[in-house]
Amino acid sequence: MKIVVIGGGWAGCAAAIAAAKQGVDVTLLERTDSLLGTGLVGGIFRNNGRYTATEEMVAMGCGEMFDAMDACTTHTNMEFPGHKHASLYSIATIEPEVQRSLAAAGVDVRYQVRIAEVEMDGTRLRAVKTHENKGGIRFEADAFVETTGTSGVVTVCNKYGNACSMCVLRCHTFGTRVGVAARAGVTEISGRKGDQVGAMSGSCKLLKESLAPHIREELNRKGVVIVPIPGAGNGSDHKVSIKACQQYSQPEYTQSIVLLDTGHAKLMTPYFPQAELRRIPGFENARFEDPYSGGIGNSIRFVGMAPRDDALKVDGIDNLFCGGEKAGLLVGHTEAVVTGVLAGYNAARLTLGQALLVLPDSLAIGDAIRHVREQMQTEKGLGLKFTFSGSVYFERMKERGSYTTDIGAIRRRVEAAGLTDVFAARTELDARRVARAA
C-alpha cells in the first residue's frame, strides 16, 4: 500500500507522517530543495486559538510537527497586539528539524521533483509525473495527497500583486507551483474580494544586522519590538487591507512597525517601501531578506484551492485528498498541519479499506474544516480568510466556547469525542514499515 504526497510544506510533511504512522509506504515529493514552503519564512504558532488546535491534535496522537516547532522556538508565551501566548520558531533551524522527524517516521522524501502531469484511470488518479523535459519521472500510488499550497505563480503575482517579489518559493529556480487537482480535471477555486484575486502574503523578513543596535537588542530579549511610524494616520492602509492574514488588520499594524524575532526580524506588513522605512528612526539601514523585493510587494496566495468534503477528499477524484491551503481559506502553519494530518490519515484509511474519518464539530479542528468548506460556497466567504489565531474564525471559537488553553479540558473534549490517540501509530504495521525502510 503506497501513498504519494505532493508538496512538502507544513501540510505535506504532516500528511506524510500521519499516513506513515498507519503503516503504509509514503513518498513525499517537493519541487524545491527544502521542505516547509511558506513555513520557511513564518514562525508564529500557539497564538490565540492555535494553542487549542495544537493541543487537540496532540491529544489525538499526531503532535510530531508541533514538537518540531517547540524544539526550535526563539521565544514562548509572548504577547503582541491582538495575540496572546504565542511562540515563535527559528526559521534558521526548523527545516532540518522537520527533515529529521520525517526520517524517523520512515518517509521517503524526494527533493526537486516538481509534479506537472497526471495519469488517470477514470475518476482514479493512477500516477503523477514530472514534465517530460525533467525526465518524465512517474510515481504510482493507491492514494495521493495534494498539499501544493495556493501561492500564485509569477504571472499571478505580476497580475494581481505588485510584481514577482523574489520570495522564498523561488519559482524562477525550481519552476512554479502546479496544482494536481487541476491537472486531474478538477475546477479549482480562488479567493477573491472585489477586484482582488487571492491575497498578498502578510509579512517580510528584515536582516537584523541592518537595524539599530537598541532595536536588535530589544528584539532578541523580548521577541517583539513596536516602533510608532512618525506621522501615521488612523486611515485604512492598502498594504494591510490586501493581506492574507486578516488577524493583523488592526490599527497597531498600520500606525507602528511591529517586529517579531524569528531569527530574522519579521516585519508584520506585506511590503513596506524601502525609502519610507529608512526614514523611521532605527531603520535607516533596513534591508529586506525575504522577499528580496519586500519594498515593493509580496507573494499572492489563495488561488487554486480544491473543492473537497470534510474528510478532505477532493470532489470528483476517488483517491485524491488535500490539506493545508489547498483545502481552503485556512491561513497558517497550525491550520496546515491539522488539515494535513487528517488528509494523510484518510488517504491511508482508504488504502486500508477503512471508513474515512470526519472530525466532529465538538472539536475546534472539526468545526473549522466544515465551516470553511461551507463558507467557500458563498461569495462573502470567498472574500474572507480563516485562522484559529484571529479575525472571524477566532471570534467563532470564542462564541462557541471552544477556545481554551486548559490542556486538561482539551484532552477531555477529545476523549468525549472518542478520538484520543486516533492518529497514533498502528504499532505492528508501523514497526514492519520502519523495518522495511531500514
Ligand X SMILES: Cc1cc2nc3c(=O)[nH]c(=O)nc-3n(C[C@H](O)[C@H](O)[C@H](O)COP(=O)(O)OP(=O)(O)OC[C@H]3O[C@@H](n4cnc5c(N)ncnc54)[C@H](O)[C@@H]3O)c2cc1C
- 325 lies in the binding site for ligand X (CB under 6 A): yes
Exposure of 187 in the CB half-sphere (CA atoms within 13 A): 0
CA angle 320, 174, 95 (to 5 degrees): 75
Residue type, position 176, single letter: T
If the CB atoms of residues 159 and 214 are measured against ligand X, the closer one turns out to be 159
Q: Choose the binding region for ligand X from 6-14, 16-24, 364-372, 397-405 (rule: CB under 6 A).
A: 6-14
Q: Which three cell numbers, joined as nine digits, stand for 138?
A: 512517474
Question: Cα-atom radius of gyration of the chain, to the nearest Å?
Answer: 21
Q: Hey, which residues between 293 and 322 contact ligand X (CB under 6 A)?
A: 299
Strand bridging mode 143-146 / 2-6: parallel
**Does residue 336 bind ligand X (CB under 6 A)?**
yes
Residues between 155 and 194 with contacts to ligand X, criterion CB under 6 A: 177-178
Which residue's CB is nearer to ligand X, number 31 or number 193?
31
58 is an interface residue for ligand X by CB under 6 A? no
Counting every residue, how long is the chain? 438
State the Cα–Cα distance between residues 297 and 411, nearest whole angstrom.
Answer: 42
User: Which three cell numbers mark 372?
Assistant: 470553511
48 lies in the site for ligand X, by CB under 6 A: no
Point out which span in 38-46, 137-145, 309-317, 405-413 binds ligand X (CB under 6 A).
Answer: 38-46
Residue 240 gets which letter from DSSP?
H
Q: How far is CA 195 from CA 83, 119, 198, 383, in A?
A: 30, 35, 10, 10
Minimum CB–partner distance for residue 191 and ligand X (Å): 12
If binding means CB under 6 A, how many residues of this protein chain bind ligand X? 38
CB nearer to ligand X: pick between 216 and 264:
264
Candidate residues 32, 52, 99, 319; the one interacting with ligand X per rule CB under 6 A: 32
Q: CB-hemisphere CA count at 13 Å for 367? A: 21
| Binding flag, residue 38, ligand X (CB under 6 A) | yes
Q: Which is nearer to ligand X, 113 or 417 (CB)?
A: 113
Q: Which is nearer to ligand X, 118 or 417 (CB)?
A: 118
- Is residue 261 within the footprint of ligand X (CB under 6 A)? no
The span from the CA of 300 to the CA of 105, in Å, is 33
Report the alpha-carbon angle 88-89-92, nearest 5.
140
Chain contacts with ligand X (rule: CB under 6 A):
6-12, 29-32, 37-39, 41-45, 114-115, 147-149, 151, 177-178, 201, 203, 299, 324-326, 331-334, 336
